[in-house]
Amino acid sequence: MAESLLTLASLSKSFGGLHAVKGVELEVEKGSIISIIGPNGAGKTTVFNCISGIYEPTDGAILWKNRSIGGMAPDRIAHLGIARTYQNIRLFSHLSVLENVMLGQERLLRTTWLGAIFGTPRSRQESGEVLVRARDTLEYVGLLELEDRLANELSYGDQRRLEIARAIAGKPELLLLDEPTAGMNDSESRSAIGFFQQLRDDTGITLLLIEHDMRVVMDLSDRIAVLNYGEKLAEGLPEEIQTNPQVIEAYLGTSAEI
Amino acid sequence: MDRNKFFLKVAGIAALALVYVMFTGMVETFGGRDIIANVLNLGQILMYLPPFIVGYLVMRAEAPSSTLVRYLTSIGAGLIANTPAAIVALFMERVQMRDTFANASPNLVEFMTLGIQPLGVGILVFWLMGGLLATFGIAFSFLPQGARRAVITAFASIVGLALMSNLFGQILRRFFGGRPDRLLFSADALRISTSLIVFVFAAVLTQYQPLLRKQFGRHLTSLLPSGILESGHVTNGLGLIVLLALPWVLGVFLSEVLANVGLFMLMALGLNIAVGLAGLFDLGYVTNFAVGAYLVGVLTSTGPQGIGQFNFWLIVPISIVAAMFTGFMLALPVVRMRGDYLAIATLGFGEIIRLLALSDWFAPLIGGAQGVLFIPKPAILGFSFQTPQQIYYIILAACVVVLFVSRRLDISRTGRQWRAIREDEPVANAMGIDVTWVKTLAFTLSAASGGLSGAIFASKLGTIFPHSFQLLISVNVLCIIIIGGMASIPGIAIGSLLLVGVPELLREFSEYRYLFYGLLLILMTIYRPNGMIPVKAQQHSRGFGPEEGSDAGKTVPLPAPATTVT
């Protein structure tokens, strides 16, 4: 069994009386691609927000390499090597494409404002590296020609790609993708599947994604976890999930029988 | 229907504007300033412009109706524009209105009616003038666009030249001795001959500007070695030479004005770090200014409040550090606030510092309302910076340093972090940016140049009082940034000249200074919301890249040929 990168141990989050996430267990192995699926309002994005530090879990633990990170500030979690994208794209829309990707590299940077003012050799060297890495990443996702454009001038698909570029520019170990193929047509999703597989093979990155497109989920995932009303309904290989009666019931309603 | 609405709207706005400028005394005050000697004054321009513009706008508005109807509506709109002012003037004799309109004086009526008696006829003439001016507006709308632009530019040049007559007069006197300015100006106004020359010159120049630029540009670039203009060293060098020579060209009075402009520019450059680069609205900038000023005041003064009588140059770094410390301490509680809340909290700090300076509590130390007196001018190695010209150089040097530092920050990782929190704070946080620290840093660094300018201010003036540290200083500095353009260095320079320099030269209208500010702010937010010289987002991206000499790029393997092109 491969090394466990991230573990959710009976993770719970409630907002007042609303239990958005209840006792979710999840094991994410290094180098795997795991999908979280579930109907709208099942608590998928809340799980992401807990992992990336935006919410503090009400109960339970989030372990990163066997270290508890629940309730840690988002910037510290980013520094550990967990990057994410957003369901509704959130780029720095008035900054250039290049600068967006440069901002994804924060966790790799060490120079400070003092180094910047005095123009120390280290600071200059680091600036050079940031630029080179940003261009490499842009080339990897195929946006290099657009580096000088503003982020909000890009097409929807390119904005999705830029958001992924920004997330992987800091060489994270775990990438949280919140509905990466939302709004894409068939051929676009197909190429997205190819892209994510390629990305995993090239960098050994671990992917945890929320996805609605069942083709993407079935083709891409090593394992699938199903959430419903904040609770984990099932977990398993794609084939197992496909034929799980509980899952089908959650998606299609009670009357649906196999 | 739409057309009727437009015509009524334009005429109504013009009518309101006219009543306003007349009965707040603007027309009268501005009437004291001749633009073209004995022909045209500023008050007349103010009074005659609204119906003229109304006529032009209504005529130009797209209309389905026949030409005759359009003429008549335009003229009618001009008449409507003048009606309320005429009615007020008519009843002014009968009804005592000076309680509400303190400026509704007989002088104003005389100005309106051109002195024609009896009153009824005079006011009728004024009213009909609205129609006449609208007719001129109609005529103006028939000119081709190029000609219209030429006329507007020429007219604006005349007004600008006349308003700045003092400036040009002093420069001319300095260069040629005697009174060469009398050839051009007569008592601060342009002579008729001069204005004709200016009009023709400006009009012709506007017409042929594109052509001239092309011709001249070609000659210029063929003379210079290729690529030299792109590097920026030549333009920067030339700019610096001009700045160094300015006090010598301008003389004492104008150098004093320039020193004030520079002082505000120094503050604006500092505040720009918080407001422009990091997007934090700080309305308490005067706090840092006061800290710097009082430290220099108390520690260098030879008067009763003085402690130690240290040398100015020794205290400057201390005031900068103290201001940074104040900025840091004030940032701690407010840094989690956003937008309006932040502005209001910092506004409070600005007032607190003024009240502290004024308080009896601190009076034994910093003089309370009496202030700190006998602050010596900066001196180093026996040389003392006495005149405004000499102090100008200190301010210029300070500006260059702050400019350099903020530019370096802007293109670095720190600047990028600031732009990120300005754009989207939660996402910036999720990218790994410690938002609280980065904002505190912006406040702290921004405070440094406030402290520096306060230090120079205290030494330049020689005395400081609590009332020198009003909210208006913060507002002024913020306005410079907003009007010039957020994060835009040329914008800040222009903003300082416009908001500090111009009012110093037009002291006679100082009453209306903040009216002018308000109007400018409104017009800017409507027509140029990004300021006079906005920054392009793209220009930040690179920072010190491998282009800037270091071989940093080579330390990382370059997988594809495209990435080696930098």
Dihedral sign for Cα atoms in the order A214, A215, A218, A224? negative
Q: What is the pLDDT of residues A179-208, one digit of tens each?
A: 999 888 888 899 999 999 999 999 999 999
Report helix angle B435-461 to B286-300, nearest 10.
Answer: 50
Model confidence pLDDT, tens digit, residues A5-22: 999 999 999 998 899 999
Residue B318 burial (C-beta neighbours within 10 Å; 0-12, 13-18, 19+): middle
Per residue in B137-160, is it b (16+ CB within 10 Å) or e — as a string?
bbebbeeeeeeeebbebbbebbbe
Dump pLDDT digits (tens) for B167-189.
Answer: 888 888 887 877 777 777 877 78
Give chain A positions within 8 Å (CB) of B434.
73, 75
Q: Residue A53 carries which side chain, given as an amino acid letter?
A: G
Higher local confidence (pLDDT), B329 or A251: B329
Choose among B412, B433, B553: nearest Cβ to A128: B553
Sort out which chain B residues have CB atoms less than 8 A from A124's CB and list them: 544, 548-550, 552
Task: List the single residue in A with minimal CA-CA distance to B548.
Answer: A124
Residues of chain A with C-beta less than 8 angstroms from the C-beta of B545: 127-128, 131
The reply to whether B441 touches chain A by the CB within 8 Å rule is: yes
Dihedral sign, CA of B116, B120, B125, B129? Answer: positive
At A98, the pLDDT band (50, 70, 90 cuts) reads very high
- What string of pLDDT tens digits covers the 566 residues of chain B? 466 678 888 899 999 999 888 888 888 888 888 888 888 888 889 899 999 999 898 888 866 677 888 888 888 989 999 999 888 888 876 776 666 666 667 788 888 888 887 888 888 999 999 999 999 999 998 888 888 888 888 888 888 888 888 888 888 888 787 777 777 787 778 888 888 888 888 888 887 777 777 776 666 666 666 555 556 677 788 888 888 888 887 888 888 999 999 999 999 999 999 999 999 999 999 999 999 999 999 999 888 877 888 889 999 999 999 999 999 999 998 888 877 898 899 999 989 988 998 888 888 888 888 888 888 888 788 788 888 888 999 999 999 999 999 999 999 999 999 999 999 999 999 999 999 999 999 999 999 999 999 999 999 999 999 988 988 899 999 999 999 998 888 999 999 999 999 888 888 888 888 888 888 999 988 988 888 888 876 555 555 544 443 333 333 333 333 333 33
The CA distances from residue A121 to A118, A128, B546, in Å, are 9, 11, 11
What pLDDT was estimated at residue B395? Answer: 95
Inspect the interface and report whether the beta carbons of B412 and A150 lie closer than 8 Å: no
What confidence score (pLDDT) does residue B547 get? 44
Give bridge partners of residue B41 from the DSSP assignment: B34
φ, ψ dihedrals at A2, nearest 5° = -70, 165
Joined tokens for residue B128: 């009909």
β-bridge partners, A207: A33, A175
Token pair in block for residue A252: 């299609």
Contact map slice: B 503-562 vs A, CB within 8 A: 537-538, 540-546, 548-550, 552-553, 555-556, 558-560, 562
B412 and chain A in contact, CB less than 8 A? yes
User: Taking a C-beta distance cutoff of 8 angstroms, is the pair A85, A165 a contact?
Assistant: no
CA–CA distance, A140 with A132 (Å, rounded to integer): 12
For chain B, give me the number of helices (H) and strands (E)? 25, 6
